[in-house]
Structure 1
Amino acid sequence: MYRLLIVDDEPSIADGLYNLFRSADELSLEVYKAYDGLEALQLAGRLRVDVLLSDIEMPGLNGIELQRELCRIWPKCRTIFLSGYNYFHYIQDSMRGGALDYVLKTEGDEAIVEVVAKAIRHITEQSQYEALIRDAKDQLTVAMPMLRKEYIAELLNGEATTAASRRSQLSALDIPLEAERPVMLAAARIDAWRTEMAPKDRALFHYAMNNIFEEYFAHSYRIFHIAYASDRLLWLMQPAREDPEDPEQANRYMTEMIESVQSACKTYLKLPCSFIVGGRPYEWDELSAAVERFSLLFGRGLGQGPEMILSDRRSSGEERQDRQERSAVQKLKLLAQCLDQKQPQKFYRLYDEIMSPLAERPELQAGVALEAYHSLASLFLSHLNRNELFQRFSERPGVGRLLSYEAHDSFAGMAKYFRSLAESLFAESEDETRTVSNDVVERVRAYIGTHLDGDVSLTRLAESVYLTPFYLSRLYKQQTGQSLTDYIIDIKLKTAMDLLTGTQAKIQEVGAAIGYDTPSYFARFFKKYTQMTPQQYRDLHRKP
């Protein structure tokens, strides 16, 4: 919806044009008026102005000066000048100042409406597809490295994907990996930063390490790297050749090449580093568990020593069970997002997917089952505290089961409890949203009822309930099934009808009571929706 600001130092003209455009529903305008240039600038300081319809000759700040100041605030504003005089120098000055058009007051309502409609078409054309796409592409180019990192980080955090969605994302982000093929992994830990290095320089050395890595591997592999901690780098790799590699041979080759990478980092960058090489190619849904396994290897046994090169190689049965359980626990953090974004169906689907492999180990007092309990308890406690719900829920029976794993007699009982808690939170959120939305609707209606003779524009109504105009419009339609504009029209018509048939008020007074100061514009509005003039309606429905 566009905004039109009408400025004229003759109140009768400003009021008349104001009512004319408020009844021009086909233009979808929010209309505002001012009686001089300074008042117009004050309005422009609060509200975006898309079209300025202004008299040229005004005391104080004239139209051309107003245009100059207003366009400094809102550069995309289109200006149309009004004048009662067909003077060439006015037209010339206004066009030089960037005015879109010029119309004489004597040309009548139809000509003025048409020139404003032309301005709206001009704005729409100027902000169309090509300009928006060009700007978006420029911004995307700048943001692309961060977008790539965020997407791979989501995969490493256990975000579920399909081959089709991966293919689309990898292509869109220009990541040189194939969605259907497994990936080899290599990870690096910087064992000690150089003492003279400032923290801001570390990202530069991450890129330098990657350059060394790619010098040794880029001829044989497609590679993507990510810094997933201040001292950790991870490389995702796929053979450049399509024919399958022998896993044992690939692992030996990578380990030998990593020795050269490690030596180059020490020689050229003065950075001692340790590395882990994945023991086999990993499917995409295994990445989260594999990276967590790498972190464990770095933190215990030989991995605690400096400048180590390790390989993650275990029996297939041990690896499969551990992979499923670690992947499940890793995905628990994704549940918090579903709670915060009020996505119950996605939460339940993910929750059941996580609990299924963990349920095979029913003991709650040890291992991953105990870790799962504490992760869930922390997740729910954090959600309750952030949303100021803990006090309310602490008064309900069974809250002790959230605070102590000893209150659960089995893994299945614990899983059922947390699912039930999620159901309560989603129900609570839905009730609260419904209550708040209904309250907003009632407050808006109350405001309209007491300000029907004044400003009931969408912008003013949104300000009264501290929302944006767009969100208020959408919320009102969702809650009532009726647009806010239609509701205002209905209330104005009903009020006018009641005053016409139930009081002795003059037609002009009835129009003023619903915001139309000019009788002709009130008559036009009333006839548009009733097919009768106000007087005809009064004569037909007047009570004897």
Structure 2
Amino acid sequence: MYRLLIVDDEEMITDGLYEILAGCDLDLDLCKAYSGREALSWLHQTRVDIVLSDIRMPGIDGMQLLSIIKRNWPHCRLIFLTGYSDFDSVYRAIQTPDVQYLLKSEGYPKVIQAVGQAVAELDDSLRVNGLIQRAQEKLKTLEVLARGEYFRHLLHGASPAPSLAADFLKLNIPLDADRPIYLAQGDLSRISSAVSSYANRHESAMAIMLLAESLLNGQVRSLGMIDRFGDPLWLIQESADRAYGNEAEEGASVLPYLVGQFELIQSSCSKSLDLSVAVTLADRPCDWTKLSGTYDKMKRQRQIRTGDGAQMVQTVNMEASCCAKERSPRDKSDALSVHLDAGRRDEFLLLFDELTQSERDNGAPYLLELYYTISLVLLSYVNRWELENQVSGVSALMRHDEFESWKEAFAFLRTTAMALFELRSSGESNRAAEAILKVRAYIEGHLDEDLSLVRLAGYIHFNPSYLSRLFKQECGVNLSEYIEAARIERAKELLRNDELKVLEVGVRVGYEASQSFTRFFKKTMGVTPVEYRDASRTVREIR
């Protein structure tokens, strides 16, 4: 879903465009601003894909917005809508890539056509198979392999050497050893059925990494790699020229840019690669000395996600100090532990079955070691997530002699693992239901306020695209449709009570302009608010 921001200092024009575009079949998340300053607030807190803006506005005008958008959201399309014959502004607008210009006198059909064209251009820009193919050679170079191996060494506990800057120079790493970095992790755990082998999974991770490089290019410095568990990982630094020093951009942050670009990366992965990837993103940069601890904390945070996590961009609060690392005692349990933590049921069971087949070829000492190796993985998971009262027979994990044969013992471990995966799945579903109940309660209590997708997503601490998808999945209707229905029901209730003026009723359900409320009500109910109130009075009198 693309996000469109409507900007005009004339309220009736902004509201009219909002209502017209809301009725089009373009699958857009619509936002509106009544000034350039208010538009900047939107641009600083979330990704915007299309801006439909007046050129002439008091304060920050359309051309100033153009400059800021092109610097901070380079993939955004702009459509300028004005009633002025301002040759200089028009000339500059049409000379800028991805910018259209329309006269207000051309009417709504032309606006809808321009927005549709912008959507089509965005779709085309995300289909980057050609880019991936052209970059395959780059992935095969020794330089890329050396970079990945170097950072995997740092991620898994090695302390950065005093010669970090020299190492970066030698390996041609495009990052500054003296500046902190953001860390972002991709999660391919939800595509296990499509990525059945190590080679296929690795190829998918590389394709996602390359695609991300093209969409992050310019605004930040980034280096992508694949971690030891087969997931893409990005080290990111804010570009030196991306500085917010002027009044117009006061309060801006690189974090909304990263969240927005990873949403685009997810959309592009879906369109170009038919892959779904979740992203975990640190909410602030860390020093190189804390890279390993930050990485471990983010891996653990992936456990606490709502719903199935697909297409989610989850930000992790890194303010608290990173926990000590939790390493499994034996190397052979590493992969099992990772699959269990990531919720990869199929991969876990496949590896489990491969390991336990050794019963035929090895003696009791090896089988005893294997039993306790797997038991420790399961027991560690149970303890970390406090599941001892929800899984039967936990005490037997450390008592292999309770079983009559190794076959029975390993069958018990497999059953316990299956129970843990079931608990994880039900927990995700329960958290999704609780989150949506919270959103619905907020909507009911704030019908007179801004209920944009961006604001609701901020309230629940999700990214907007994920909230939209999760709400539809849980409730069966689009979030915007639910809000409209709630506002209509509240308006009908207030109109039947006959205590407030129609204008006051409109304000109570989020419509400051009486004309906008009347259009909204009639579109849904087929009658105006006044006609509905008169009909309600007649019914009461008859009774």
TM-score bucket (shorter structure): 0.5 to 0.7
Normalised to the residue count of structure 2, the TM-score between the two structures is 0.58
Match of 1:493? Answer: 488
Distance 1:119 1:397 in 2: 56
1:447 deviates by: 1.4
Within a 5 Å distance, the mapping from 1:52-131 to structure 2 comes to: 52-98=51-97, 100-125=99-124, 127=125, 129=127
**Where does residue 529 of structure 1 map in the other structure?**
524
Letter in 2 for 1:77: C
Counterpart in the other structure of 2:6: 6
Aligned residues of 2:5 and 2:32 also touching (Cα < 8 A):
yes
For residues 376-455 of structure 1, the aligned pairs below 5 Å read 376-385=374-383, 388-389=384-385, 391-393=386-388, 398-455=393-450
Shift of 1:506: 3.3
Q: What amino acid maps onto 1:7 in structure 2?
A: V
Pick the aligned partner of 1:136 from 132, 139, 143. 132
Note if contact 1:331-1:354 (Cα within 8 Å) is conserved in structure 2.
no
> Partner letter of residue 513 of structure 2?
T
How far does residue 77 in structure 1 lie from its aligned partner after superposition? 2.1
Identity of aligned residues (%): 34
Contact 2:379 2:394 in 1 (8 A): no
For residues 107 and 394 of structure 1, the distance between their equivalents in structure 2, rounded to whole angstroms, comes to 67
Identify unmatched segments of 5+ residues in structure 1: 151-160, 174-227, 229-328
Tell me, in whole angstroms, the C-alpha distance in 1 between the residues paired with 2:459 and 2:93. Answer: 37
Q: For the Cα contact (< 8 Å) 2:18–2:30, is it kept in 1?
A: yes
Q: Deviations over 1:380-420 (max 9, x none)?
A: 133335xx22x541897744422344454532342233133
Residues 521 and 128 (structure 1 numbering): CA distance in 2 closer, same or farther, change over 3 Å? same
> AA paired with 2:137?
T
**Cα separation, 2, equivalents of 1:167 and 1:409:** 36
Q: What value does the CA root-mean-square deviation take over the aligned residues? A: 4.0
Q: Is the 8 A contact 1:64 1:97 kept in 2?
A: no
**Aligned mates of 2:32, 2:474 — CA distance in 1:** 31
Amino acid in structure 1 at the alignment position of 2:343: K
Task: For 2:198 and 2:89, locate their aligned partners in 1 and report how far apart those are by CA, in whole Å.
Answer: 61
Whether the 8 Å contact between 2:52 and 2:81 is mirrored in structure 1 is: yes
Residue 372 of structure 2 is aligned with which of 367, 371, 374?
374
Contact residue 67 and residue 79 of structure 1 kept, 8 A: yes
Q: Is the 8 A contact 1:454 1:515 kept in 2?
A: yes
Aligned residue for 1:75, secondary structure, equals coil
Deviation (angstroms), 1:377: 1.7
Is 2:464 the counterpart of 1:475? no
Size of the aligned set, in residue pairs, is: 368
Q: Distance in 2 between matches of 1:167 and 1:418?
A: 25
Cα deviation, residue 474, structure 1: 2.6
Classify the secondary structure of the residue corresponding to 1:79: strand
Distance in 2 (alpha carbons) for counterparts of 1:14 and 1:87: 21
Measured in 2, the distance between the counterparts of 1:536 and 1:395 equals: 58
One-letter amino acid matched to 1:494: E
| 1:3–1:478 CA distance, 2 compared to 1 (3 A) | closer
Displacement of 1:444? 0.8
Structure 2 unaligned blocks of 5 or more: 149-191, 205-227, 229-329
Correspondences of 1:88-237 after superposition (within 5 Å): 88-98=87-97, 100-125=99-124, 127=125, 129=127, 132-144=128-140
Aligned residue in 2 for 1:185: none
Distance 1:351 1:459, change over 3 A: same
Which entry has the higher C-alpha Rg, 1 or 2?
A: 1
- Kindly indicate whether the alpha-carbon contact (under 8 Å) linking 1:68 and 1:97 is maintained by their aligned counterparts in 2: no
User: 1:37/1:402 Cα in 2 relative to 1: closer, same or farther (>3 Å)?
Assistant: same
Name the aligned partner's letter for residue 142 of structure 1: K
Deviation at 1:169, TM superposition (A): 5.7
Q: In the alignment, what sits opposite 1:302? A: none
Tell me what 1:340 maps to: 341
Deviation at 1:442, TM superposition (A): 0.7
Aligned to 1:513, which of 508, 512, 516?
508
Write the letter of the residue equivalent to 2:7. Answer: V
Give the structure, 1 or 2, with the largest relative contact order (CA under 8 Å, sep 6 or more).
2
Distance 1:500 1:100, change over 3 A: same
Q: Helix, strand or coil for the counterpart of 1:416?
A: helix
Does the 8 Å CA contact 1:400/1:407 hold for their aligned counterparts? no
